[in-house]
Structure 1
Amino acid sequence: MKKIAIAGAGAMGGRIGTQIQEAGYDVTLLDYWQAHVEKIKREGIEIQTETDTYHLDIKAQFPEEVNEQFDLIIILTKAMKSREMIKVLNERGAIGEDTAILTMMNGLGHDETFAEVVPKSQIFLAVTMWTAGMRGPGQLLLEGDGTIDLQRADGLDDERTRAINQIFNDAKLNSRISDDVFQSVWSKATLNSVLNPLCTILDKRIGEFAKYEQAREMITPIINEIIAVAEARGVKLDFDALVAKVEGSYPDELQGLHYPSMHQDLHSGRYTEIDYLNGKITQYGKELGISTPTNELLTHMIHQLEMQYVTQES
């Protein structure tokens, strides 16, 4: 795989893209954020780590400017923008019969969205525990370590799976090929479906939410509904492991001092990814005849807040 596109070049897309380019691959960043793309075109991208600040020259384009086919396209837009992105790239000829489409976005159902455009044999799912931040247009903040788990969406292995894994490991992204990436996807979606809406509705940092003595009683019905839906879709989840995953994020030295991304989006005037988290659980539950009242209520509450706070489309 020689030509790689990062579709959605914000904080995480910037991290993945710049590390892959630094490993010697041909990378193009694709994004709709005008100031960000134009600054990278002019000056390259500024990267600040725990120990250094430096510039990296890397290609950047608006999706409508694409005029070449890629071997690998990594989708890292906001979930609600992914359908639009993949359709534009398909129209621009960026996707060929052998192009691998990989997502490590938060939420559920992305393989179903992409299957509207490409066969499932071209779709790859990944879960990342890396973090990243933006200091402004063309300015990345990259701290800490992380991992990536990946697998082809249909569960089969092929040369592209191993090639993608090699690219990520060349880029020092600590990647491994999973034999059950859907379990990892649902596990991370559970974490986000618990902390994102609760901290957003309550206007609390993760650690502030955790100080409530009955916090576990609040998260239990959300998790139980997710487990019921996941198992009906063939994904086995463990309640105790999921509770440990959520509560493991409470300490200040981990995520306790942070507002979840949904809170950040809402208070920046943007729509949230609720429909790909609790909203998707509710949708699946209705399709399967499984009641999900807690997840449905959280979805409605976030949409109510969007009516109050959202001032921009993305």
Structure 2
Amino acid sequence: MHFTVLGAGAMGLRYGVLLQEAGNQVDFVDTWESNVAQMHQQGGVYVSRDHQNRHLVPIKVYTPEDYHGDPDVWVVFTKQMQLAAFLKRSAHCFNDRQVVLTCMNGMGHVEKLLQYFKPDKILAGTALVATILNGPGDVDFIGARGAGTMNLANYTEKPDEMTYRIVAELEKCQFHPNLTTNFRGTLLAKVVFNSVVNTLCTLFEITMGEYAAYPGADELSKQLINEAYDVCERDGVTMLNTRAEELASINYVSKVANPRHYPSMYQDMSHNRPTEVDYINGYLVDLGHKTHYQAKTHAFLTHLVHLAETTRQASVNATTATHAATA
């Protein structure tokens, strides 16, 4: 099959490289010019696994304007706030035959994809797969091969032949895809997961394992899970997991699968990039407003993340001004 990955960041590179290794034709499209230029210069992307065995993997990477391919499947991995502009720049390559697969963090991306793709061509899900982008053209796959899992569902909740072909290719990559017929429940399971682990690890600058080792972690997790489930169930969502299963998933990934991993939100915060908290905890707050439910804990955490972003940026600006004054 022919896949084209929109977003050659950490997760886009991991999915694309493994799909390529499984025998598929894979192209990459990215809007980060330094990333594209670096991969052109070095002839591909440097790939490590758990900081070891760094090696160059040849790939084809383009900017949106330079790409004119016609893939069977688009694999979309961008930040939520970048997606609309990315899709607009890539739209000249979209057609009604193509399928789009996305496992982005947060919520809000499906509505943007529906502006370009028909409902029966959208396949979305979640990925419990840890990956770090060390810098332009340099990615680190965290965890042993096959350690990650993913859930996915058709927007129409009606799998077709193409769906099963895509699932088969993902299985070859050992992503262990679990195909469901519960679209919203599948996506919101990861939102709830991220609303706990990503947000708290980011605020306290700790790994997932360090969070799970805190004696009160389960109580913190339960409070956020229960509030999130109250929101979702009031909006008519049938959650993919029970509340107890969601807690068990958080503990397994944090303690066993990826204890030394810093979540993607932390990676954004540590590099002074905007986080996706509005599409995770903030999304749950907004969803609660629809049914007059106040998700107060999630609202509080959303404000804390934005406060942290603001203070970090102020520190960066002050440092920059000091350097400029002494230059």
Query: What's the TM-score, normalizing by structure 1?
Result: 0.88
Does 1:44 find its partner at 2:44? yes
CA drift at 1:269 = 0.5
Does 1:270 find its partner at 2:269? no
Does 1:29 find its partner at 2:28? yes
Q: Helix, strand or coil: the match of 1:97?
A: coil
- Residue in structure 1 matched with residue 323 of structure 2 by the alignment: none
Residue range with higher mean Cα deviation, 197-206 or 273-282:
197-206
Provide runs of 4+ in structure 1 moved above 4 Å: 50-53
**Does the CA contact (< 8 Å) of 1:193 and 1:278 recur in 2?**
yes
Which amino acid in structure 2 is aligned with residue 158 of structure 1?
D
CA drift at 1:299 = 1.0
RMSD: 2.3
CA drift at 1:272 = 0.4
| Cα distance between partner residues in 2 of 1:46 and 1:170 | 22
Residue range with higher mean Cα deviation, 114-123 or 14-23:
114-123
State how 1:194-233 maps to structure 2 within 5 Å.
194-231=196-233, 232-233=235-236
Write the deviation string for residues 236-286 of structure 1: whole angstroms up to 9, x where unpaired.
Answer: 3422112222233443x5433333221221121100010111010011111
- Residue in structure 1 matched with residue 9 of structure 2 by the alignment: 10
CA drift at 1:63 = 1.6
**Does the CA contact (< 8 Å) of 2:34 and 2:136 recur in 1?**
yes
Q: Helix, strand or coil: the match of 1:98?
A: coil
- Residue in structure 2 matched with residue 309 of structure 1 by the alignment: 312
Residue range with higher mean Cα deviation, 60-69 or 207-216:
207-216
Does 1:245 find its partner at 2:258? no
**Does the CA contact (< 8 Å) of 1:70 and 1:96 recur in 2?**
no
CA drift at 1:30 = 1.0
| Cα distance between partner residues in 2 of 1:59 and 1:139 | 15
**Does the CA contact (< 8 Å) of 1:87 and 1:117 recur in 2?**
no
Which amino acid in structure 2 is aligned with residue 277 of structure 1?
I
Which amino acid in structure 1 is aligned with residue 225 of structure 2?
I
- Residue in structure 2 matched with residue 115 of structure 1 by the alignment: 114
Which amino acid in structure 2 is aligned with residue 45 of structure 1?
V
State how 1:145-160 maps to structure 2 within 5 Å.
145=146, 146-160=148-162
- Residue in structure 1 matched with residue 325 of structure 2 by the alignment: none
Which amino acid in structure 1 is aligned with residue 22 of structure 2?
A
Residue range with higher mean Cα deviation, 174-183 or 101-110:
174-183
Which amino acid in structure 2 is aligned with residue 162 of structure 1?
Y
Write the deviation string for residues 93-132 of structure 1: whole angstroms up to 9, x where unpaired.
Answer: 2110111111111112322232233222221112222322
CA drift at 1:234 = 2.1
| Cα distance between partner residues in 1 of 2:69 and 2:209 | 46
CA drift at 1:52 = 4.3
The gaps in structure 1 that reach 5 residues or longer are: none
CA drift at 1:16 = 0.9
Write the deviation string for residues 211-238 of structure 1: whole angstroms up to 9, x where unpaired.
Answer: 4433333233321121012212322342
From the superposition, tell whether residues 259 and 98 of structure 1 become closer, same or farther in structure 2 (CA, over 3 Å).
Answer: same
| Cα distance between partner residues in 1 of 2:129 and 2:205 | 25
- Residue in structure 2 matched with residue 76 of structure 1 by the alignment: 77
CA drift at 1:303 = 1.4
From the superposition, tell whether residues 206 and 174 of structure 1 become closer, same or farther in structure 2 (CA, over 3 Å).
Answer: closer
CA drift at 1:304 = 1.6
From the superposition, tell whether residues 283 and 9 of structure 1 become closer, same or farther in structure 2 (CA, over 3 Å).
Answer: same
**Does the CA contact (< 8 Å) of 1:149 and 1:181 recur in 2?**
no
| Cα distance between partner residues in 1 of 2:18 and 2:254 | 29
From the superposition, tell whether residues 33 and 166 of structure 1 become closer, same or farther in structure 2 (CA, over 3 Å).
Answer: same
Does 1:87 find its partner at 2:91? no
From the superposition, tell whether residues 141 and 256 of structure 1 become closer, same or farther in structure 2 (CA, over 3 Å).
Answer: closer
Does 1:292 find its partner at 2:291? no
| Cα distance between partner residues in 1 of 2:228 and 2:213 | 24
| Cα distance between partner residues in 2 of 1:176 and 1:250 | 20
Query: What's the TM-score, normalizing by structure 2?
Result: 0.85
Does 1:257 find its partner at 2:260? yes
**Does the CA contact (< 8 Å) of 1:71 and 1:100 recur in 2?**
yes
Within the candidate set 156, 160, 177, 2:179 is matched to 177
| Cα distance between partner residues in 2 of 1:195 and 1:175 | 22
The gaps in structure 2 that reach 5 residues or longer are: 318-327
**Does the CA contact (< 8 Å) of 1:208 and 1:256 recur in 2?**
yes
Within the candidate set 188, 192, 195, 1:193 is matched to 195
CA drift at 1:204 = 3.1
